[in-house]
A and B are shown apart, each in its own frame.
Chain A
Amino acid sequence: MDLIELLNFYVIPGIVLGSIYALGAVGITLIFAILRYAHLAHGDLATFGAFVALACVTGVGIPPLAALPIAILVTAAVAVGIDKVFYEHLRERPKIVTVMASLGIALMLRSVVQVVWGVDTETYSRGIVRPEDYFGLRIRDRELYTVVALIVLVGALQLFLTRSKWGKAMRAMSDNPNLALLSGIDNKKVVMLTWVIAGGLCAASGFFLGYNTEIKSMMGWHMLLPMFAAAILGGVGRVEGAVLGGLIVGIAEELSVLVIPSEYKAAMAFAILLFMLLVRPTGLLKGKVL
């Protein structure tokens, strides 16, 4: 197999899959850093976002990419709502209570999706999309959009975190929560912002998974493990780490097909997660130790 084939059949799909994982992993890492628990409903929140976009495409008749911003806004609002109705009441309790509650939310979200949209496999647009040829590299437009969306959204997030007052307040809350409170930073607003960002990115993740493959009610749940592996691989609390981790997990999954049967592709994320926790629990970019 020559290099161009390796790139076309393994590395490029790996980068696309990795970008999708990264969009979810950034939210997971922010929730870990600021709220300090593992959010197990993240995958199903992504599914929800993908189906909201589907409703816009089939119901209103707008093109998929135009449905993306709507899905982002709706999912961000739903994430804030879930926090207000469920997680907020558990904030003073041990974190494991919230983790278990998020598992319940995951099942609830999935059920809502299945009741409203059914359990059949759907797509945003029918027909086969032929890839364009870029000097031998075969890339579909939707693959390009996925990677561009990751760069734009994470770039905007980084600007927000490093330049704006409230973005810095989020970092301060992640860095030293007691001192942040002593400085008069409003914890509730920071938590709400975290959910807006995590929920919005989550919807983008689900949307692009559906856009590149199919839309299924279990798609997000299956993505949960790779997203967590990506967040931990990159270092918990590190946005750029989550992106790096997502890309590594995505590429590793696609490349693994070369040496192990493709049914075991999903085990790659698990292997990476286990290996990192054993060897370097702070992740590649020195995140928090869990």
Chain B
Amino acid sequence: MTALLSMESLTGGYGDADILIDVSLHVDVDEIVAIVGPNGAGKSTAMKSVFGLLTIRGGKMLFDGDDITRWAPNRIVQRGICYVPQVDNIFREMSIHENLEMGGFLRKGDLSAAYDRIYTLFPDLKERRRTPAGSLSGGQRQMVAMGRALMLDPKLLLLDEPTAGLSPKYMEQIFQICRDVRDTGVAILLVEQHAKQALAFADRGYVLAAGRNRHEGSGADLLADREVAEMFLGG
């Protein structure tokens, strides 16, 4: 079976500097894949490359049968990849419901089925749908951000450090939501600072260091790998 997303020997960065060097990874349908690694390893950059946000100088990116290597972000969104940035990922002054509505901006026709789907995933949000998103707690904001991205019914969801700054309780909740989202048929590629927790919950993981692939495997295998543990997970 071919992968939903496959990044093949990608080299690129911002402007003239290459941040990613020969990075390869893939995400299958119904899979949660985590990218971990030390600060400055190029984790977020790898994710942004999927979304067409950097200059690619080598390699290619295939998604669901299309070569999307040099596509503009808005075309990629319509093709079925949605991106949740790490910061500023909600419309603070707009209500939860309006955030979702903006997420579904490109969809024509009736959105009520899409709203139902999001509110089933995030029951907390339904009760507070008229509340301005900026007044919510960190975990709930992350739910709004994910909900906004899911409104377009993507095949792949990109999450940039979804648990940054959250308490362990919320971290577990976000991970659980990721599993629920996956079970509705949406693959997830996420970047995580909390490497141990992320590898424990993801189906597969990649360890990046200095912009290159270092290790890959199932989450459990990576956690059990002594070199990975010593170098990247703090022993």
| Interface set of A (CB-CB < 8 Å, partner B) | 165, 168-169, 171-172, 175-176, 178-185
**Stretch among B21-29, B61-69, B83-91, B165-173 lining the A interface:** B83-91
Knowing that A168-B98, A182-B83 are A-B contacts, what are 19 other residue pairs whose CB atoms are under 8 Å apart, sorted by A's residue number?
A: A168-B101, A171-B91, A171-B98, A172-B98, A172-B102, A175-B93, A175-B94, A178-B85, A179-B85, A179-B90, A179-B91, A179-B148, A182-B77, A183-B77, A184-B74, A184-B105, A184-B106, A184-B152, A185-B102
In whole angstroms, how far apart are the Cα atoms of A171 and B90 in the complex? Answer: 12
Contacts of A185 in B (CB 8 A): 102, 105
Whether the pair B88, A184 counts as a contact (CB closer than 8 A) is: no
- Known A171-B94, A175-B92; judge A183-B102 contact (CB<8 A): yes
Q: Which B residue sits closest to A177, measured CB to CB? A: B88
Whether the pair B90, A176 counts as a contact (CB closer than 8 A) is: yes
Q: Within the complex, what minimum Cβ distance (angstroms) separates B124 from chain A?
A: 21
17 sampled A-B residue pairs with Cβ under 8 A: A165-B101, A165-B105, A168-B98, A172-B91, A175-B93, A176-B92, A179-B85, A179-B88, A179-B91, A180-B102, A182-B83, A182-B85, A183-B148, A184-B74, A184-B77, A184-B152, A185-B102
Q: Which A residue sits closest to B148, measured CB to CB? A: A183
Whether the pair B73, A181 counts as a contact (CB closer than 8 A) is: yes
* CB contact list, B51-84 vs A, under 8 A: 73-74, 77-78, 83
Q: Which A residue sits closest to B106, measured CB to CB? A: A184
Contacts of A168 in B (CB 8 A): 94, 98, 101-102
- Known A172-B94, A184-B74; judge A178-B102 contact (CB<8 A): no
Whether the pair A182, B73 counts as a contact (CB closer than 8 A) is: yes
Whether the pair B89, A179 counts as a contact (CB closer than 8 A) is: yes
- Known A181-B73, A181-B74; judge A176-B105 contact (CB<8 A): no
**Most-contacted residue by chain A among B85, B91, B98, B152 (CB, 10 A):** B91
Contacts of A165 in B (CB 8 A): 101, 105
Any chain A CB within 8 A of the CB of B219? no
In whole angstroms, how far apart are the Cα atoms of A169 and B102 in the complex? Answer: 7
Q: Within the complex, what minimum Cβ distance (angstroms) separates A180 from chain B?
A: 7
Size of the B side of the interface (Cβ < 8 Å), in residues, is 21
**Most-contacted residue by chain A among B74, B90, B102 (CB, 10 A):** B102
| Interface set of B (CB-CB < 8 Å, partner A) | 73-74, 77-78, 83, 85, 88-94, 98, 101-103, 105-106, 148, 152
Q: Within the complex, what minimum Cβ distance (angstroms) separates B73 from chain A?
A: 7
In whole angstroms, how far apart are the Cα atoms of A24 and B90 in the complex? Answer: 30
In whole angstroms, how far apart are the Cα atoms of A182 and B93 in the complex? Answer: 17
- Known A175-B93, A176-B91; judge A169-B85 contact (CB<8 A): no
Contacts of B85 in A (CB 8 A): 178-179, 182
Contacts of A178 in B (CB 8 A): 85, 88
In whole angstroms, how far apart are the Cα atoms of A165 and B102 in the complex? Answer: 8
In whole angstroms, how far apart are the Cα atoms of A178 and B103 in the complex? Answer: 13
In whole angstroms, how far apart are the Cα atoms of A180 and B105 in the complex? Answer: 9
Contacts of A171 in B (CB 8 A): 91, 93-94, 98
Q: Within the complex, what minimum Cβ distance (angstroms) separates B155 from chain A?
A: 16
Q: Which A residue sits closest to B88, measured CB to CB? A: A176
Q: Which A residue sits closest to B77, measured CB to CB? A: A184
Q: Within the complex, what minimum Cβ distance (angstroms) separates A28 from chain B?
A: 19
In whole angstroms, how far apart are the Cα atoms of A100 and B73 in the complex? Answer: 32
Q: Within the complex, what minimum Cβ distance (angstroms) separates A123 from chain B?
A: 43
Contacts of B152 in A (CB 8 A): 184
In whole angstroms, how far apart are the Cα atoms of A119 and B116 in the complex? Answer: 62
Q: Within the complex, what minimum Cβ distance (angstroms) separates A177 from chain B?
A: 10
The 8 A-B pairs with the shortest beta carbon distances in the complex, nearest first, are A184-B106, A175-B91, A172-B102, A175-B93, A183-B102, A183-B105, A172-B91, A176-B91
Q: Which A residue sits closest to B78, measured CB to CB? A: A184
Contacts of B98 in A (CB 8 A): 168, 171-172
In whole angstroms, how far apart are the Cα atoms of A185 and B103 in the complex? Answer: 9
In whole angstroms, how far apart are the Cα atoms of A181 and B51 in the complex? Answer: 13
Q: Within the complex, what minimum Cβ distance (angstroms) separates A8 from chain B?
A: 40
Q: Which A residue sits closest to B89, measured CB to CB? A: A179
Contacts of A183 in B (CB 8 A): 77, 102-103, 105-106, 148
